[in-house]
Amino acid sequence: MILSPSLLSADFSRLADELAALEAAGISWLHLDIMDGAFVPNITFGQPVIKSLRKRSSKLFFDVHLMIEEPARYLESFRDAGADMLVIHAEADRHPQRTLSEIRRLGMKAGLAFNPGTDIASLRWLAPDLDMVLVMSVNPGFSGQKFIPQSFDKIRATRAMLNAAGAGDVLIQVDGGIGLATAPLVAAAGADVLVCGNAVFKADDPRAAIGAVKDAADEARENALARGQWN
């Protein structure tokens, strides 16, 4: 199970220290939420911040979540800033297959995100161009929201659709309301990557919180695999 802590919940006055602490705790991924104030009702940061963070860390895998309109305009600039993966939203791109293919051509991993109210039917046609699917378990735009319970069925449906398309190696990421209570449940439903924000950065002991969430998710995943739950 991969944990990808969301930088949006970090202390922005001490980002270098936050990155060092994550690496020391064994974290290998960092989730970077890019918001434009148009696709979602909030604005965060862009390429200059990612470039600065990349100078501070050569080890972390930068999982960049583009919550922006017309993401295809910015692919190369995010690559140059240091992104390892770009995740676009199905709702924000008129030609997702072309954009996903271009992300890969530029040397990055390609992901596609679905808002809570968006059907995943297009995965049937887009699976060959994907490295990861992001199931949003909250409506995007703000951190600290509560997990939407219907997301469990959506994760299961995503896993089933990917398996049916011969794309069982495509990762499933879940973002929104992930903590010690929800992590094992989404892991059992078929998730591979968990985005944790407040559960990590707002914890009294972030390192202990990371260990507890990962252990719970790993155990639930192993039990689900043993039962053949995803076959």
Catalytic residues: 33, 175
Token pair of 175, please? 């973002």
| Strands in 124-201 per DSSP E | 132-136, 171-175, 193-195
Helix (H) or strand (E) holding 225: helix 206-226
Token pair of 185, please? 């449940």
Q: How far is CA 48 from CA 68, 80, 156, in A?
A: 16, 10, 37
Q: How far is CA 123 from CA 1, 16, 32, 87, 112, in A?
A: 22, 37, 23, 14, 9
Token pair of 191, please? 């998730």
Which residue reads 């192993």 in tokens? Answer: 222
- For residues 172 and 133, is the Cβ–Cβ distance under 8 A? yes
DSSP alpha helix (H) spans, 88-180: 96-105, 123-126, 151-164
